[in-house]
Amino acid sequence: MALIIPLNEKMPVTGKNCFLAPNATLVGDVVMGDGCSVWFNAVIRGDVNYIKIGNNVNIQDGVIIHGTYKKSATNIGNNVSIAHGAIVHGCTLNDNVLIGMNAVVLDDAIVESNSIVAAGAVVTKGTIVKTGSVFAGSPAKKIKDISPELLKGEVERIAASYSKYAGWYKGEKLRAEG
């Protein structure tokens, strides 16, 4: 069972039909919508500021989501995929966004809808990733506009796939071998 820790009178809240891996961690002021999945070793730590997560969001293995004390909360829209090992910190991710593996999105950055932050990219403090953009590099810069094929073939496909993968685990009795 996932580690769900109340803190400062705030208890993490999950929506309907969510999958939480047995070693996922949710702390404090976290509110998650319906149909989300939080995968193995992911940490969502709402201890110093709130974290709001929309519907159909997948937070893959080893992701860290956090904020900055009294300054930068984290807001995540609907149909967002945050890939393995990414860090999302005190920023806003709007709807239909893909954050690539090991990417970092820092305080006060905004990733507008229908956009991709490529694997390994570092979106620095206060950067705005405009709607329909693909950002890559360190520091991340726009490398191209997102095509309809890329939007459908990556952003939408990955969000739908993780809903399917989460379904494989629901109803299964997950246990540690000793």
Give pLDDT tens digits for 18-36. 999 999 999 999 999 999 9
- Residue 85 placed within a domain: yes
Q: Is residue 175 very low, low, confident or very high in pLDDT (cuts 50, 70, 90)?
A: low
| CA neighbor of 50 nearest in space, from 36, 63, 68 | 68
Buried b (16+ CB within 10 A) or exposed e, 87-125: bbbbbbbbbbbbbbbbbbbbbbbbbbbbbbbbbbbbbee
**26, 4 contact by CB (below 8 A):** yes
Residue 178 lies in a domain: no
**CATH code where residue 58 lies:** 2.160.10.10
- Average pLDDT on 134-159 reads 95
Is 119 within the bounds of a domain? yes
Half-sphere exposure of 115 (CA within 13 A, CB side): 25
Residue 173: other Cβ atoms inside 10 A? 4
* pLDDT at position 1: 87
Q: What does the pLDDT look like over 119-136, one tens digit per residue?
A: 999 999 999 999 999 999
37-72, pLDDT tens digit by residue? 999 999 999 999 999 999 999 999 999 999 999 999
Total domain count, the chain? 1
Residues of the chain with pLDDT > 90, as a percent, come to: 93
pLDDT digits (tens, 9 = 90+) for 97-112: 999 999 999 999 999 9
Average pLDDT, the chain: 95
Its domain, for residue 102, covers: 3-169
81 occurs within a structural domain: yes
Helix (H, G, I), strand (E, B) or coil at 159: helix
Q: Which residue has the higher pLDDT, 170 or 132?
A: 132
**Is residue 36 in some structural domain?**
yes
Q: Does 177 reside within a domain?
A: no
